[in-house]
Structures are given as structure tokens and as C-alpha cells.
Structure 1
């Protein structure tokens, strides 16, 4: 019985991990400034946290979506201002876009590490 429970728990964990790992946005990315950002599942979305550089440890985004297309909020770590944002994954490139009032936008492309 204990073996069955352990096996079932292990299968459930493996299935969850595989589903999360399969999402294109999950992983480490080199930002336009050269810092490393980690994008990982958190809650029902994906959190963007800087791992290296001047602002290491700072959470700079929260995006929801799937299949390579995401939207949410992005924070500029220099100004600490938060914008509506989006991201789209194409292979090893992640195009990030932040906008004010959906008319003034800035984009940058990150590269998968």
C-alpha cells in the first residue's frame, strides 16, 4: 500500500513537472541588458525574476498564458514603474513588450540560456 501511494505521488509530481517544463516561456533568459531572468510557474501564472545583474533577486513580471503567448505586467527595474506587458516565444527568442495606455510601447528580445 505504501509503495502504491509513493508510486502514485511520484507519477503525479512527474506529470506536473513535465507539464510545467513543456510551457515555452519557462526557463532562464538573457535580457537585453545582459542580466539573467528566470521565468517560473507561480500560482496560476509565470513569475519573472532577475537572477543576475544590478537588480538580482527582484521580481519584474507576472505573465499568464500558454503555448508561446503571454500577457500580464512587466516592471522596469531601473525606474520601478510597472506596465501592461506581453511576451511571445519563438524558438529560443522571447519578445517582451511593455506599454503605457497600449499606445506607448517598448520591446526587447531575450535569448534562452
Structure 2
């Protein structure tokens, strides 16, 4: 009995460690077909396009916030920056940029590569 409880406790600790990992880091395919790399920088994460028309351009920063991420996102076509948020479900990263205090938002789904 004690052995089962010990194994169950160890499994819970291991699962908790995995849940705390930041899965936002890595390469993501944008809806436009470009590849964006999200990597740690400062106290959060930087988003940089590494392929496509705007390759080399940093287009945002995010920081962990609750169960998702918040920060800024820049439209690489016109260089306008918006308040942004992101959430991950499986291999899908939902990115949103908003204006007017969140009244008007536009979202995209990016796929993990």
C-alpha cells in the first residue's frame, strides 16, 4: 500500500513539473505561412520572424500571465503594435492583438513546427 502511494506521489510531482514548463518557446507556422521563433528574452519571450517576407523582424514580446501570455504584438506589414495575448491548446498557439481596451481584436492560430 505504501509503495503504491509513493509511486502515485512521485507521478503527481513529475506531472506538476511538466505542467509548469513554458510550452510557448519554439518555432510556429503563422497563418501567412511564415515561421516565427519564440524564445526567452529578458523576463519573458520574444517573437521573431525567421522566414517569409518580413524575415528577421521582431514582432512581439510576451510574458506568462495566469494560464496564458500577455504582451505586445506588431503587424509586420505596417509596423503597428497592439496589446496582445496568447494561449496554447495542444500544438495550436492562438495569438490576439487588440485596440480600444480589447474592444476590437484580431486573432490568428499558429501551428507548432
TM-score by length of structure 2 reads 0.78
In structure 2, runs of 5+ residues without a counterpart are 1-17
Number of residues of Structure 1 aligned to a counterpart in Structure 2: 93
> Cα gap change, 1:68/1:28 in structure 2, threshold over 3 Å: closer, same or farther?
farther
TM-score by length of structure 1 reads 0.78
- Two-structure CA RMSD over aligned residues (Å): 1.5
> Cα gap change, 1:68/1:29 in structure 2, threshold over 3 Å: closer, same or farther?
farther
- Give the conservation status (yes or no) of the 8 Å contact 1:23–1:66: no
Deviation at 1:96, TM superposition (A): 0.2
Question: 2-side partners of 1:67 and 1:112: how far apart?
Answer: 21
Question: 2-side partners of 1:67 and 1:25: how far apart?
Answer: 14
In structure 1, runs of 5+ residues without a counterpart are 1-18
* Residues 92-111 of structure 1 mapped to structure 2, 5 A cutoff: 92-101=91-100, 102-111=102-111
Per the alignment, residue 62 of structure 1 pairs with: 61
Q: Which moved more, 1:67-76 or 1:42-51?
A: 67-76
Question: 2-side partners of 1:76 and 1:111: how far apart?
Answer: 18
Answer with 1 or 2: which has the greater Rg: 2
Question: 2-side partners of 1:24 and 1:68: how far apart?
Answer: 11
Deviation at 1:107, TM superposition (A): 0.3
